[in-house]
Structure 1
Amino acid sequence: MRGGDLISVRKKLMLILAGIVIVLGLFIGYCSYEYALNMVTENKKSEMADTINRIDININFWGLEVTRLAQRIVDGNIAGEAFEEQEAGQISHLNEWVSDYAHIIEAVSDIIILDTERNIRYHYLEGLDMLQDGRRLQECFEAAQSGLRGERWLGRGNSLYQGGEAVTLVKAIPMKEKDRMRGIVVIEINPEIFRSLLLSNQSLPISQYTFIVDKKGQILCTNRTVQPKWLEKIETTFQNGERSFILEWDQETYDVFGQYNGLTGWKTYSVVAVQDIFPQAAQLRGTIAMIVMLAVFAGLVAVTVLSCSITAPIRELSNAMKQVEQENFDIEIQSRRKDEIGHLITSFHYMVGKIRQLICEVYQKKIEQKNAEIRALQAQINPHFLYNTLDSINWMLIERDEQDISDVVISLGEILRYAVGGQNHLVPLGSEARYIESYLFIQKNRLEDRLNYQWELAEDTLDVLVPRLIMQPIVENAVIHGIEPLKKGGVILMKAWIEKEMLLIRVTDNGRGMNQEELEALREKISGTDEIENIGMRNIQRRMELTYGQEQAMEIESVQGEGATITLRMKVCRAV
């Protein structure tokens, strides 16, 4: 016995359902956690991308305002007036115009106009004429010279004339020839304005890095200290065309989002550790695990109740079947269930009732069989008595020299012995032919010259087995209905041959025959169930179907005035 056969159906059902509940619970829990984590992560990433986008928009806003200011100074003859000797009133007018515009742009900390000799032609912050960083001034002139028709953002560096740092915009003041530089306009912006952009647009994660980098890769402003090598790796990946990417650094994974500003050439980055995007992930995981455990426990309780409701009546049915095995057919299971198990119990009751009924019927048949055997033993005495009686009559006829009648009695005895003396259903065709020969001998003694018959049996057909008495009704019909009604009589031809592993027996007479209506009526009667007419022919058809399984085992053809032909087809079967 296999080990699995020792486990009850209830335990198997509970194990299967419990496994399904556990697997399903774990799968739903895992999918729920992954869905929530992905949804929150995508939202946080979207917030980070939106953050740097807002910062970039503000950079564009301040950049455009400062660029427009520089453009107005150069194109609005303000720079030209600064290069001419002006009276005090006119200089005051220039100061008033620049001061009003600079106050509108709160990010501007200083405006300076210098000629090519690096002399100050105009300074927004009066009294600060001491140069603080000569290299920064040289950088301003080089940037202006390289772009006579545009503005150049230098990024963060030392202020030219005031202490501290500033973000510088430089624009060349061209001469009338347009290909030479008359001087430059330097506008310095307080870098704290950009730091305020970072602080006002931070995302939720506390550990998020947000910083702005200029063209040279120098940080203009940041909310947290950024390591130079870290920044170099971010810059390299960003310059390769990736705007959103994963950064591995110090065994930690970061999500990086970058935005390039086309006006200034600066880049804004937002960087956050993956584990800090959703810090409540561990708490969510624990909550989902608890919910899954509770759901699995509830599912197991439901599985137990369900398995008991299914297996209890099955166990009761199994016990009842054991009672039936012990020949207790009066067992009955009380159940009001209307489901499949209820139908099963109903079927069990029906089966037990049928078994009880069949037992009674078998018992009754056994009694009847015994009675039939007794009657059969008694009936065997009667044929023996008939054989002896016919034998006595035959000797009496011989003594009186009645040889013709004696031959008829002998033929009758052979017919009787063949008809009731054999127990085999199938007999060789040769034996069947001898029986028919005895029958025709009797009929010829009655009809004399009006009846003639011929045999054409192939040699290889004589040992083929055929149903007993299969030809007698056909030959009898040929004599009675075909030959006897004619005064001139007729001939009956009996042929047998083998064709394609099939035995064909054909009986043909040249007697009265049948018209088409009579032929169709005969065919219908043979295939019908009428027990009064054509019993012999219908018996042949039925026996052929039962023995060989052929629906068209017998074929009947007839023409009125020319006779009839009946052909039997059966499989070749020989005695072993």
Structure 2
Amino acid sequence: MEREGSGMKTFYRSSLRNKLIAFLLASIVLPISISILITYNYTKESVKSYYIRENTNLMHQGAVNLLGYLERINEASLLTYNNLSDKYSLYQLIQNGTQSYLEEREMYRNLQFMANSVKEIEQIYLYSAMEDHSYRYAYKLLRSTPGQTYIPDLDEERDAQIEAVHASHEYGIEKPKFPYHLSKEVFSFHRKILNAPTGEVLGIMSIDIRTDMIREISSMLYTPGSEELYILDRQGNLIFASDADSAEEGGHAWVQSILEQTADRGHFHYEDGRFEGIHIYESLSAPWLDWLLVKRMPYETLYRDPRQLTLINSLAVSVFLIIAATAAVIISYRFTNPIKQLLRYINKLESGNLDAGLAIDRSDEIGILSKRFYQLMQRINQLIMREYRLELASKSNQLKALQAQINPHFMNNALQSIGTLALQHGDRKVYTLISSLGKMMRYHMRADNTSVPLSAELDYVQSYLALQRQRFDENLQYRIEADDAAGAVQVPRMILQPIVENVFKHGIQPALGPGEITVVCRMAEPSVLEIRVADNGVGMEEAEREKLQAILNRTESVFEPVSGDDGIGLINILSRLRLFYSDEVRMRLENRAPHGLEVIISIPLGGKEGLFDESTDRG
């Protein structure tokens, strides 16, 4: 195997034709393959973002519709309190009891009216604590029995509560009082009947509602066969499931992951042995309700279209690659065949056959080169030719080296052209970012200026923060202030940007909220420049801050080893400032409340600025 590998390397290195074929194939295959991969990943992310955005809005609208429907049921239960002063109102009948046939008829009429207010109401159970009597309205019949035949599981702190979906039952009032009972899938709305002034519990009402409307609203929120929709309460009980079998097979792991979410709405990735995809959820909250609306979309379905598109593109590209590869081989052979002939001619010359002929009937550059070479070989000997070839190779290498150099001014001019084009197309944001990057490049290109006015350093930091703000999706606020006297002070280049960069390396974290950076430069005294860089990041552990501060306080801190990039950077800045001004320069680190760090630099001027020029050659 080693010999085969060595033979392949020798074959590749010794053949220009093989190199050319490999180069042409790579220049065709790699860009297209990378383009397909990038396009596929971008399409996947675009589809995912669009799906999440659209379905979040759809779920919110569905939640609004469900809450509106459940509010109608709540209002139906509150019909108990209508016409409180009427002795035949439901409230008065519960409080005083039904002592006569007329009062029983009024009880029937009130419950019938309540049942008809929402067409999905299956039956109503009512318990009057004052007369210790239970009533059940079902199938347009009202029957009663002494005592409390059913006790719902109600929280002490709630006046009303919804019970999860279950099979309807007879509430303890059954045959022979009712001739039959048809068990249906219902959810129950339980409400305490309270004395208006005192809050005393007068009774309990339970309303069974068929799930028809819940299913109808839910059916508009998902696509059967490709998506799953569930409604859960906070105890994990299923109110609605588009695929009940799948919900049971999935176990409680995904349900538990939903219940652990604290936000009112959102989405997250979920993966287990049976499912890998996105969960989108929306809370349904009311004083008597705490449900979750959940949609599950597997990646297998979500990315089906991008995969099919990529497969079609790949097939089309494969055909193109076959054609391109064939063309590359043909071009390589036609390009290198004259070179092969020329090599054979050289071999003949080396063997002493100086009269050998060279038959190349081509008028392109290779043909011209062969003819000129042939003419030269007729006039000069092998040694002169060898020297000529060495000199030609040397010239070629120098030319390639010159061509490989990149003029930074060209990059700057290119950025200005791109920015102007962005401005012409009305994209001011891109223009602003390119302008910031251009300022930073121009600042770097002025390598001959080792010291600059502080205002120039602040402009560089301003451009750097503008670019970082785009990186953090505008979730970054910054403020830069400097009085005129401070801005005119000469300082070493690149003393502020490393401090600000440390904020992004070690301070800013999305979990803490939007980042804030403040840079303030002022003359604390007529001859003392003060620079403050503050952020609201994670700050530093107190022990770590004290250790680093102790090193910064010592004059010999420039040589003190310290762990962490931020410590090395701060010591480097302090060392340069002390070399530029004097050993009186001080740097303090202070933690901010509730979190964050402030770096304070005090620079006594007093006519000592520039004691050491950073450009001085000390070698």
* TM-score scaled by length of structure 2: 0.46
Structure number having the greater helix percentage: 1
Q: Larger relative contact order (C-alpha < 8 A, sep ≥ 6)? A: 1
The structure whose Rg is larger is: 1
